[in-house]
């Protein structure tokens, strides 16, 4: 069997906006939040965007907000398909945070400040006390559940294409376990409502996992994902100097304020930056000799990340440098950075919140194409839609 026939493709979608999302409340794995009208609308838009893909099976979290999103997506993609063919499983439910469920983010930050900062900075050893004798480790428990899901599902669907609809935390853990990212980087991967991510498993095994796209939201009218922490910090918009064609990228950043740019001092990089910055006359441009580029961008991050305001920088450099930036943000060793399928002609965004928090990969391989080529539509069209009912 050829490696192409053995490759498994997984499209991840976070559920649509819920009532708790709209109110800024912690959800955890409670089942009270329902989809809002916006949530249903974005689910339909997601189904329309994925319509040309043919999935062999659909899996969803058993929580209501995820179930409703999966059913709405399926109804849009394939109205004649029975929604009972969707596989609902408890293994994909959201991170358990029972002590905070239903509480506002601001309330938790102010009234549980020590626990909140521990959760944000060290999720891998964060313990949530439940009464005098019971406690849980939310991130570690989630990673274990997600690992069980992969062990059950991947061997069942070698060479097939899957759609998984779950939650922000669950999808972060699915991506992390596929790439070998440790639980201490749990908060380093952003997942927006109805954001689309794509994983490839070339030989069908979890160990072969690679990330082809992450948190694409243009199909629901959002270009760059919303910032995770407000007030101060740094966001880098990363653009490979191998980018082509630039006319598809420039409009995506036209409405984004770019405070500074760091550009390799060569004609190709300068031409790309010139096109991008046509509508940004206020941007401070910094040219860097190629041999000093890695050191300069790291110095730039360290300097700008201490700012008391929020600033955005554009980085135009070669693909390997950008891959190193993304790998560093996710804690991926340089020897394993081939698991990041960064693509010329796309934008990748990293946010550096400061305050001792790890960087956040907001989006990877954002394209100006109407049907994002990262989804490899042509290659996936040949797959038949054959949802497989299996026990959860």
- In terms of average pLDDT, the best of 2-6, 254-258, 369-373 is 254-258
Task: Determine phi and psi for 11, rounding to 5 degrees.
Answer: -105, 120
CA gyration radius, the chain = 21
Residue 54 covered by a domain: yes
Residue 293 CA: distances (Å) to CA of 122, 275, 300: 31, 21, 10
Contact between 274 and 368 (Cβ < 8 Å)? no
User: Do both 25 and 50 map to the same domain?
Assistant: yes
Question: Tens of pLDDT along 62-87?
Answer: 999 999 999 999 999 999 999 999 99
CATH code assigned at 273: 3.40.50.1240
Instruction: Work out how many domains the chain is built from and give that number.
Output: 2
Beta partners for 363? 349
Strands ordered across the beta sheet of 87-89: 87-89, 57-61, 161-166, 8-14, 196-201, 210-216, 360-366, 347-352, 233-240, 310-317, 260-264, 284-288
User: Do both 246 and 197 map to the same domain?
Assistant: no
Task: Determine phi and psi for 232, rounding to 5 degrees.
Answer: -160, 170
Residue 373 covered by a domain: no
The pLDDT assigned to 25 comes to 97
User: Do both 211 and 341 map to the same domain?
Assistant: no
The pLDDT assigned to 380 comes to 36
User: Range of 86's domain?
Assistant: 3-221
Question: Tens of pLDDT along 299-324?
Answer: 555 555 555 678 999 998 888 888 98
User: Do both 180 and 271 map to the same domain?
Assistant: no
Residue 56 CA: distances (Å) to CA of 68, 265, 386: 20, 47, 5
Give the helix, strand, coil percentages of the chain, each rounded to 5. Answer: 40, 20, 35
Query: Is residue 139 predicted with pLDDT exceeding 90?
Result: yes
User: Do both 41 and 146 map to the same domain?
Assistant: yes
Single out the residue in 201, 221, 241 at which a domain terminates: 221
Residue 360 covered by a domain: no
Placement of tokens 């779950």 in the chain: 166
Band the pLDDT of 240: cuts 50, 70, 90: confident
User: Do both 215 and 308 map to the same domain?
Assistant: no
The token pair at 130 is 């439940």
Residue 255 covered by a domain: yes
User: Do both 168 and 264 map to the same domain?
Assistant: no
Q: Please give the model's pTM, rounded to 2 decimal places.
A: 0.91
User: Do both 324 and 208 map to the same domain?
Assistant: no
The pLDDT assigned to 303 comes to 54
The pLDDT assigned to 300 comes to 57
User: Do both 198 and 59 map to the same domain?
Assistant: yes
Band the pLDDT of 201: cuts 50, 70, 90: very high
Query: Is residue 163 predicted with pLDDT exceeding 80?
Result: yes
Residues annotated as catalytic (active site), given as ranges: 15, 94
Query: Is residue 162 predicted with pLDDT exceeding 90?
Result: yes
The pLDDT assigned to 180 comes to 95
Band the pLDDT of 388: cuts 50, 70, 90: very low
User: Do both 241 and 210 map to the same domain?
Assistant: no
Question: Tens of pLDDT along 203-222?
Answer: 999 999 999 999 999 999 99
* Beta-sheet strands, E only, within the chain: 8-14, 57-61, 87-89, 128-130, 134-136, 161-166, 196-201, 210-216, 233-240, 260-264, 284-288, 310-317, 347-352, 360-366
User: Could you tell me which of 61, 53, 52, 54 has the C-alpha nearest to residue 86?
Assistant: 61
User: Do both 192 and 268 map to the same domain?
Assistant: no
User: Could you tell me which of 9, 19, 21, 13 has the C-alpha nearest to residue 73?
Assistant: 13
């Amino acid at each position: 069997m050829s490696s192409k026939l053995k490759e498994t493709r997984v499209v991840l979608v976070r559920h649509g906006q819920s009532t708790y999302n709209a109110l800024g409340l912690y959800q955890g794995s409670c089942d009270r939040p329902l989809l809002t009208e916006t949530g249903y609308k974005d689910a339909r838009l997601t189904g329309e965007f994925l319509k040309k893909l043919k999935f062999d099976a659909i899996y969803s979290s058993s929580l209501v907000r995820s179930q409703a999103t999966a059913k709405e997506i399926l109804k849009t993609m394939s109205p004649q398909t029975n929604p009972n063919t969707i596989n609902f499983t408890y293994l994909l439910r959201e991170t358990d945070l029972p002590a905070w469920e239903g509480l506002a983010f601001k309330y938790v930050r102010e009234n549980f400040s020590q626990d909140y900062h521990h959760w944000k900075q060290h999720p891998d050893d964060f313990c949530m006390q439940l009464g005098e004798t019971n406690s849980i480790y939310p991130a570690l428990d989630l990673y274990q559940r997600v690992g069980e899901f992969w062990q059950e599902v991947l061997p069942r669907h070698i060479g097939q294409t899957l759609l998984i609809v779950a939650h922000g935390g669950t999808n972060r853990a699915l991506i992390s376990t596929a790439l070998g990212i440790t639980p201490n980087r749990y908060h380093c991967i952003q997942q927006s409502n109805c954001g689309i991510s794509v994983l490839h498993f070339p030989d069908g095994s979890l160990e072969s996992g690679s990330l082809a796209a992450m948190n694409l939201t243009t199909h629901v009218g959002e270009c760059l994902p919303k910032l995770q922490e407000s007030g101060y910090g740094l966001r880098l918009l990363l653009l490979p100097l191998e980018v082509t064609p630039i006319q598809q990228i420039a409009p995506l950043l036209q409405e984004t304020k770019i405070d500074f740019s760091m550009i390799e001092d060569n004609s190709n990089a300068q031409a790309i930056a010139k096109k991008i910055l046509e509508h940004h006359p206020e941007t401070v441009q910094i040219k860097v000799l190629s041999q000093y580029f890695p050191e300069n961008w790291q110095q730039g991050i360290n300097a700008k990340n201490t700012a008391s305001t929020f600033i955005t920088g554009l980085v135009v450099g070669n693909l390997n440098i950008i891959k190193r930036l993304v790998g560093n943000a996710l804690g991926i060793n340089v020897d394993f950075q081939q698991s990041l399928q960064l693509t010329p002609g796309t934008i990748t965004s990293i946010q550096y919140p400061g305050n001792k928090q790890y960087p956040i990969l907001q989006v990877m391989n954002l394209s100006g194409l109407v049907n994002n080529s990262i989804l490899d539509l042509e290659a996936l069209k040949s797959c038949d839609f054959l949802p497989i009912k299996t026990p959860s």
